[in-house]
Amino acid sequence: MNLYQQRAANIRRTWALIAGFLLIVIAIGWLVSWYYEEQAILYLAVTIALLTNVFAYWHSDKLVLSMSRARPASREEFFDFYTVTENLAITAGLPLPKLYVINDPAPNAFATGRNETHAVVCATTGLLSLLGRSELEGVIAHELSHIKNRDILVMTIAVVLAGFVAIVADIFLRMSFHGGGRRDNGMGGNALILVLGVVGIILAPIAAKLIQLAISRHREFLADASGALLTRYPEGLAAALQKIGAYAAPMKRISHATAHLFISNPFGPSSGKRESWLARLFATHPPLSDRIQALVGK
């Protein structure tokens, strides 16, 4: 599979996962509506989830930069960072994003912002000192691809849906303990539906989180492929990922809320060690070895 085919396949997989997300939301909405015979619960849950996540999306760059303790990167201090980003932004047809750095020896980077004109690319000082120019180009192209591919929007949709599932599941379970639904009005032959529904709602937040993580992993593969197409030199990004993977120590200041944004797991990447299927299932990033193999076929 070449890079063009990989990019198309990852786009299809991502939207298939979004469709699966929507099916879970629809199923939960139907069950809660059927059980309580009351639409107000759904409207409340949707409103809370949407308001919370729209705020997070609108202010995502400020929130992430503050949590990461990032500072603006000056052209004089980080000349290569600036010139590489300028050249690639022109090639990609993007406005120059704001550039920030994090004082951390662990090599890593991320992109954030609500759209192309309000975008940010941030790199650690460890990444900027470790990588050669062609490797830095690979990483910056990866981050610009996140912006070009509207990954922030896609991940926000995933967060909105996951938040909706978690909120509705919590409301349903809390209220079911106090009665007031069809259980108190005589279930008859619908008892099995209720039991299966409750089990499904308990498991739904877990399923929603797994889908969100799967979307995050597919967006990394997509950004790798798109970045390689932008530079026309996949070996540069592959070499950068190898160096990032060789630095096993985690970043100094990290959060589970922002871990999926980084090019590599900020809690410590794993480039060659064989991971269990369960670890991969709950990972925010695909193994670096798989990403390198997808780029250069080795």
What pLDDT, on a 0 to 100 scale, did the predictor assign at position 206? 77
Predicted pLDDT of residue 120? 94
Find the mean pLDDT for residues 272-281. 64
* Sheet with strand 109-113: strands edge to edge: 71-72, 98-102, 119-124, 109-113
294 pLDDT more than 70 = yes
Percentage, residues of the chain above pLDDT 70: 69
In a domain? residue 103: no
- CA pair distance 189, 285, nearest whole angstrom: 45
Most confident stretch, 15-29, 106-120, 167-181, 226-240: 226-240
In a domain, 200, yes or no: yes
pLDDT of 215 over the 60 cut = yes
- Is 256 annotated for ligand binding? no
142 is in an annotated binding site: yes
Would you state the pLDDT for residue 194?
58
The DSSP element (H or E) to which 111 belongs, if any, is strand 109-113
Whether pLDDT at 170 is above 80 = no
165: left (phi over 0), alpha (psi -120 to 50) or beta: alpha
Angle at CA of residue 19, ends 48 and 261, nearest 5°: 65
The number of domains in the chain is 1
92, 94, 117, 146, 252 from 230: Cα distances, Å: 7, 12, 19, 12, 31
Residue 190, pLDDT above cutoff 60: no
Q: Does residue 18 lie in a domain region?
A: yes
In this predicted structure, the answer to whether residue 208 has a pLDDT above a threshold of 90 is: no
Catalytic residue, candidates 137, 143, 235, 275: 143
Checking if the pLDDT of 91 tops 90, the result is yes
What was the pLDDT predicted at 42? Answer: 65
- Mean pLDDT confidence for 21-47: 69
Average pLDDT over residues 117-127: 95
First to last CA, the chain: 13
Query: Considering only 35-39, 104-108, 135-139, 227-231, which range has the smallest mean pLDDT?
Result: 35-39
Query: Would you state the pLDDT for residue 127?
Result: 97
**pLDDT, tens only, 51-69:** 766 776 787 788 889 989 9
Asked if residue 251 is part of any domain, the answer here is no
Does the active-site annotation cover 143?
Answer: yes
Closest by CA to 250, choosing from 259, 237, 242, is: 259
pLDDT of residue 176: 63
Reported as a pLDDT band with limits 50, 70 and 90, residue 189 is: very low
- 152-156, 162-166, 269-273: which has the minimum mean pLDDT? 269-273
In a domain? residue 122: no
Mean pLDDT to the nearest integer, 205-227: 83
Instruction: Tell which wins on pLDDT, 258 or 275.
Output: 258
Interval 25-54 mean pLDDT? 69
* Number of residues assigned to the chain: 298
Find out whether 218 is annotated in a ligand binding site. no
> Is 233 within the bounds of a domain?
no
CB 158 within 8 A of CB 212: yes
121 φ, ψ to 5°?
-120, 130
Which residues fall within 8 angstroms of residue 28, CB to CB, at 6 or more apart? 165, 168, 169, 172, 200, 201, 204
pLDDT of 271 over the 50 cut: no
pLDDT level of residue 19 (50, 70, 90 thresholds): confident
- What is the C-alpha to C-alpha distance for residues 248 and 244, in angstroms, rounded to an integer? 8
Report the pLDDT value the prediction gives residue 259, as an integer from 0 to 100. 86
- What integer best gives the mean pLDDT of the chain? 80
Amino acid of residue 63: L
| Domain assignment present for 239 | no
- Tell me the CB-side half-sphere exposure of residue 212, using CA atoms within 13 A: 24
Domain that holds residue 171: 3-60+152-215
